[in-house]
Amino acid sequence: MPMTTFLDLRDWMFLKTNLQATRSVSLEEQLMCFLWIIGNNSSNHEAQEQFQHSRETISRHFQLVLRGMLALYKTFVRLPPNSTPTCIRNDCGKMSYFQNLCGAIDGTHILTHVPTAQQAPYRNRKGTISQNIHTGCSLDMYFFYVYSGWEGSANDAQVLENAELHNFPHMTR
């Protein structure tokens, strides 16, 4: 992450969520610890070693930043407009099959780094180490849903089925 992006995120967290520095942990360190944990899929114990803080301190600050991130959700994540583009709505030919179309969903594989001992389930059918990411996109090319973290060996139907159990947005007209 570029430093300017990190500083912008810090400023948003400070201004919009009232996240504050504490006596022992600066706002930047809280945010960096949070990003390091989620970016590396690390445990509390690994964060204790990396940032030299107690288990309680790491846990408390992780929860504070997580609540702040969730508060920013409504600012940055918006569902697509509930309308079909004019080119589809007014077409009586082949496009008429898509009259109630809101968007499209698909899965894709993103290359990832996993510890050697855990690589087997992340090896996809092409032999590379990846995550299977399930996404939803509006017709205006805005992502309205991302479900990540599945092993590369998981098939799209399995990921979609699980996504429906975890807040997959069912958009209806």
Tokens of 49: 């070693």
pTM for the whole structure:
0.51
Looking at residue 9, its pLDDT comes to 82
* Mean pLDDT, the chain, whole residue set: 80
Quick check: 19 and 64 in contact, CB under 8 A?
A: yes
Q: What is the pLDDT of residues 51-110, one digit of tens each?
A: 899 899 888 888 888 888 888 777 777 665 666 666 666 666 666 667 667 778 888 888
Q: What is the pLDDT of residues 11-35, one digit of tens each?
A: 887 877 777 888 888 888 888 888 8
How far from chain centre, in Å, is Cα 8? 18
Residue 123's SS3 state is strand
Looking at residue 173, its pLDDT comes to 44
Compute CA distances 116 → 48, 112, 123, whole Å.
23, 12, 11
Looking at residue 40, its pLDDT comes to 83
Quick check: 64 and 89 in contact, CB under 8 A?
A: no
